[in-house]
Each structure stands twice: as structure tokens, then as C-alpha cells.
Structure 1
Amino acid sequence: MKLNSAIAIALATQSNAQQMLRFACSQLSVERLDPLVDPGVPQTAHLHQIVGGNAFKPTMPTTTDLSKVASCTTCTKQEDFSNYWTAVMYFRARNGTYKRVPQMPNLHLEGQKGGMTIYYIPPYDGKSKTTAFKPGFRMITGNPAARTKSVRPRELTFRCFGKNWSGDQGAPGGGSDTDTFPKKPCLGGIRSNTYFPVCWDGKNLDSPNHSSHMAYPSGQPNGGGPCPATHPVRVPQLFYETIWDTREFNNKEDWPADGSQPFVFSTGDNTGYGHHGDYMFGWKGDSLQRAMDARCGGNLGNYCPQLTNQTYAAANACNVKQTVSESVDGWVKTMPGGVLAGDNDHHL
């Protein structure tokens, strides 16, 4: 099964294609901070782009209920103070310099400022129970150190958009995904797809590697099959779509002289196999559970009477200052932290 957008998956697997929660989360911060992998460290090895609640800081214990300490969120669902983050994409020019690739709004969410589109999807059979995450829950999917397909989950892919969000073969839900960075110019940008596992052990809010308390189901790669006995509790399918605005970098005269694709993650990964995502739950009270029980849908997943929408202006106004001030934009000789394309030691 190809890993298409959540909308395409829903269309193919259930009669009500809108049984999903889909909303925008604008940019909160871009900095070298990772309270999940490196708690307490004020400046970590590589750069992240973060969205969600403004409680984000170097130390965030599992005992912290983010909804009680955050005062604003960049997400358009007012009850969601979770934090979501990924590595940052850079363009490496022929002369060896780098420039950060900005994020742009997704289709029908044009009011957001950078950031990501977030999905929470109940089971595709249209009836099975979903258990919402608990306060203090966190997880990681993907391996930032991966440089080959053999050590990388299959749920992390890229989509090359043509003009007008057309994808390779049609509408945004059409076309095909790749395991690696696209090897040709993408006229409408590049979307990275980040699917998290949907099976929880039902006990641990976290684990030493931030992954083993979770598992992917068997069968369909992103949520359709049964959960293993070791991880019997079905949680929502969490899915990030990040639209990287690569349009200013489409001139192949600026690409490396050998014709290789020019994009690289802030970890030094120039393959795309190191694509990964981090998550800390922060929904207020039982709001996410209510939304999942109602199987919210309509208006491309944005309509959910159980939740409160805030304006894009309010979401865009929420931000946090960098813990350690550092320039992340403009043309630079190395990426933040001294990282270069092809480096394999800046993945923590």
C-alpha cells in the first residue's frame, strides 16, 4: 500500500471519509532544543522546528500536564497545548553554503504561519474504540541516525508537489511517495509525511528509547491492522504533514555539480532516511477523547463541535524565544551546531 495523505487513506478505507481531526499548527520556535531526547540541555546537536503550546522548554518532566502550564498554543484547536517537532530541512547550494527551507501552509489551511498540519485519526473501520493519550505521554517515531532503508520505519515518506499542489499525478492526495528526498525539482514544494504508531502498551507514558512503549499494527502500514498482544491499546493515528517551500531552490544550476539532490536535514542527513518526529501530549482535560469518540469530521477534518477553534491570528501570535539565541536563517557555511551534509554524528 502506498503511503498517501490521510485524506486519501480515509477515502479508500471507510465510507465516511471525514472521520478525522485535521488542523493547522503554526510555528512556535526554530531552535536546537529537544526536551525529550536531551532533557535539560539548553542547546542540542541539531536544529528543530516546533509547533504547539508555549510551555516548550529544555526540561519537561512526564509529571507535567502541559495544558496546565502553557498560556497559548500555535494550534487552531484551542484545547491543544501539545508539542510537535521535527528536524529542519536545509538547501545545500553548489558553492557549499546552506539556507533553511521555510514551511508553508497546507491546502485549505492558508492562514497558518509555517508550522505543520496535524491529524488525529480514529480507527479506519469507523467503529472501533480509540483511547486518547494521557497527560505526560510522549513518543518518537523514526531514527535520526538512519541513512539506509533497512533501519528506518516505512511510515516516513516524502511527496513531491507539482504546480498548484498537484503532486506528481494529480490532486494533493494523488501521486506517489518516496522513502528518500525527491531527486528532481518539486515545483510546488516537498511534503514530509510523519506517521506515528497506533498501538500502546497501556502502561508506560514513555520508555528509555521513547519508542518501545509503542508499536505499529500488522497489515496496513499506517493504522489498519490489529495491534500486537504486547501493545493492545489502540490510540489515535497521529500524523504530521510538513510542507517545505522549496520553490526558490528549483534552479538546477544552483544544485550540486554532480546533479545530486540538494536537500538535507539539520542532522546532516542528505538521504531522507533520518526523517523523524517527536511528540508530547498536552490536550486539556478529556477534550481529545471527546473528539475521538465523536469521530469528528467535515470540512476536511476541521469541523468538530466538541472542540473550540481559535483564530489564525491568535495561533500565529503564540511563540517562545530561543533558549540560546542563534541565527537560523540566511546563507551560512554550516548548519547550526556546525553540521554539514553527510555528517552522521549530529543525530542526538
Structure 2
Amino acid sequence: MHLKTLSGSVAAIVALATPAQALLRFGCAQLVVNRLDPLVNPGQIPSAHLHQIIGGNSFNASMPPVEHDLPSLSTCTTCQFSEDFSNYWTAVLFFRARNGTYKRVPQVPNLGFEGTRGGMTVYYMQDALFDYGQTSKVTAFKPGFRMLVGDASFSTRKQTSKFRQLTYTCLQERSTRSPETLGFPDKPCPAGIMANIRFPTCWDGVNLDSPTHQDHVSYPAEGTFESGGECPDTHPVRIPQLMYETVWDTSGFNDPELWPLPNNTDGIQQPFVWSMGDRTGYATHGDYMFGWKDDALQRAMDSPCYVNCPTLKTQTIAEQNKCSVPDVVKEDIDSWLTELPGISSSKMTMPMN
């Protein structure tokens, strides 16, 4: 069943709107693909499941919020805006063959960022209305701010209702942006699968983090960011709409002979699985650690920056691609694998009623 959102196609809105809103859209190259998670599993090497990470090169297994200042500890970033040393990460997509073996699905850059080494497209949006004037204000994230959206243990559509707008787009071509679904697409996608992660847009104004990494932020009291919903009294501060787009090049796995048989006993009719063992798509999630230098992000959100921003320093794609961190786990993630890294077959997430 398709999920209809008021945002529809952010890229289409970007193309049509007048450049009067603060809206940043930029590419970030791959920093590392590793089993590390300093937010949920701090200090643990390896972490529970595999992630793909972008951003500043101070990323490591242990990033305590007080001691670890991302802008001062990073010497480079994989993101287009060179003052952005934040870290952004998601799970990794795998293809599951009929014989039960796994192959990592490659990532490709979004339209407009050709030449970028994998990675993601990141958005920061100041206003949801996209009219001809800057009608509202957002408060940029503060040093030490971090958050998580989604739940790696979810396996049903009902569970996903807790999080608004964690979706997938089956790309008919690279410019496709609708419709969006809550679970994995159930048919081959000619140009790949885009995973869309939209974060909450309201903050309690006090806590930079919370035990769940979620309770200090909230969605609007009603509706969505795109519908202009007001923040609840518990979380009155409007923060930028942070969004990730990751393009997974599934086109190499579109042969129907590779897909599950129609009478497949486990009921799964598509072959893709997240690195934590989820075969439904409902366990998608995204992590964020703020790391913009000084007041760079607030300046951008307070000005009519539109996609590119003259108030921010930029770097070339070649410079972005040079930034990386070492693989500290050193496990095989690129061969055909009999099990997902860190995940035995007994831990696979199956759909539930």
C-alpha cells in the first residue's frame, strides 16, 4: 500500500520553488561502511549490525557528547559543505539469494552529485510551506545534539506508525520521487530503491540527547512538517527538517529468477534485507550527530540559502571523496556471505500480524 505525503517530491519542489527559503540539499560521500554505532552501542567494537556512515572523520566507536566536539576533532568531511563535520548513518542494504546467501547492495549518488563515492543526499529545510517569503524561523541544532529515528526491531506496518515518513521509493528512473511505501517495494525497481529518512522537527529546547535518543524531539502535534503542523507544548522549539536520501542500486538483482519463488513459505516476496536482519523494511532507521562548525548552520537557516548557500564554504566532489576513516572491524562485507555481519539466521526479522 502506498503512503502519500504532502512533500511528494522534494526534488520537484526544489526545481519549481522560488529561491526564497532556507533549504540546503547536498551530497556526502562514503566515510566508511563498518559495524560501529557510537550512539546506540558506544565503545562497542563491533556493534550489533553494519552501518554506512558519512560526514566528519572524527567518527569512531566512542564519541562521548561532552568530550567529543566533532568540528574541532575532525580534519575533513565527506559532505559538500566543508563546515559540516556532522555524522549521519543508516543501516546497510543486502540482497538475499534463493540459496540464503547475501550480497551487499551498492550505493550510488543522487542526481546532480555524479562522481560522489556512494554516500547519501542530505537536506536541511527551514520552512515547509515553500511560498515566496521566509515565513518562519527554525533553531539550528546545538553542539552535542544527537538523535535517532526509527527502530531496528520493528517488523510490522502498525509499529511504523510511531514514526512519520520513513519510506521507500521504487525508482523507475533516477528522477522518480513517488509514490512512497512504508515497506520494501514488492517488485523489481528499474533504477534502484531510494530509502527516505525524515527526522522529527520539534525539540524540547533543553536536552541535547535522551536515553532513547528520541524523547527530546517530537513530530508536530498534528500533521507533518510539510503540512505546517505546530510543535506540541512539550517540544515547542522548531528545528530544521533533516532528511536523508540513500539510493541503493538494486538494478543488478532485478532478474525474476533471483527473487523468492511465488510459493515461498515464509511469505516474503522480495529479496532485500537490512543489515540488522529485517526483511520487511519496517525497521529502517537513521542516526545523527550534529557537528557544524560555529554558527554555520544557523546562518544558513536565517538566510535565503537555496540548495547551495553563499554563506557556507563548499568543497569539490574530488575533495569529498578523499575523506575517510580506517576500517577498524576488518570483516568481509563484500563477498557473498552465508550470514549477515553480526546477525545469525535465528535473529532474522520476519513479518508479524
Question: What TM-score results when the alignment is normalised by the length of structure 1?
Answer: 0.91
Q: Name the amino acid aligned to 1:36.
A: L
Residue 202 of structure 1 aligns with an amino acid whose one-letter code is: G
Task: Check the 8 A contact 1:270/1:342 in 2, yes or no.
Answer: no
Over 3 Å counting, the alpha-carbon distance change for 1:59 and 1:342 in structure 2 is closer
2:189 to 182, 186, 209: 186
Q: Counterpart in 2 of 1:270?
A: 279
Mapped partners of 1:56, 1:116: distance in 2: 16
* Equivalent in 249, 258, 266 of residue 245 of structure 1: 249
**Structure 1 residue 132: deviation in Å?**
0.5
Q: Is residue 264–residue 341 contact of structure 1 (8 Å, CA) maintained in 2?
A: no
Deviation at 1:256, TM superposition (A): 1.7
Alignment of 1:318-329 (within 5 A): 318-329=323-334
Deviations 1:178-211 (Å, cap 9, x if unpaired)? 0000000000000000000010000000000000
1:41 aligns with 2:44: yes
Q: CA deviation at 1:252?
A: 1.0
Structure 1 gap ranges (5+): 166-170
RMSD of equivalent CA atoms: 1.9
2:123 corresponds to which of 116, 119, 126 = 119
Q: In 2, distance between residues paired with 1:341 and 1:16?
A: 51
How far off is 1:341 after superposition?
A: 8.7
Q: Deviations over 1:114-164 (max 9, x none)?
A: 01000000022432111000111000001111101222213100000113x
- Code of the aligned partner of 1:336: P
Distance in 2 separating the partners of 1:74 and 1:104: 15
* Partner in structure 2 of residue 59 of structure 1: 62
**1:162 alignment partner in structure 2:** 172
Is residue 2:91 matched to residue 1:87?
yes
Greater Cα offset, 145-154 or 39-48: 145-154
- 1:244–1:17: structure 2 CA closer, same or farther, 3 Å change rule? farther
What residue number does 1:168 align with? none
Please give the TM-score of this superposition, normalised by the length of structure 2: 0.90
Residue 65 (structure 1) shift:
1.7
Partner SS state of residue 297, structure 2: helix
Question: What's the CA shift for 1:78?
Answer: 0.3
**Runs of 5+ unmatched residues, structure 2:** none
* Residue in structure 2 matched with residue 331 of structure 1 by the alignment: 336
After superposition, residues 279-290 of structure 1 pair within 5 angstroms as 279-290=288-299
Q: 1:213 to 1:11 in 2, by over 3 A?
A: farther
What letter corresponds to residue 325 of structure 1 in structure 2? K
Task: Report how far residue 19 of structure 1 moved.
Answer: 3.8
Note if contact 1:195-1:222 (Cα within 8 Å) is conserved in structure 2. no
Q: Does the CA contact (< 8 Å) of 1:270 and 1:341 recur in 2?
A: no
The one of 112, 133, 138 equivalent to 1:108 is 112
Residue matched to 2:72: 68
- Of residues 199, 204, 207, the one that matches 1:201 is 204
Corresponding pairs, count: 333
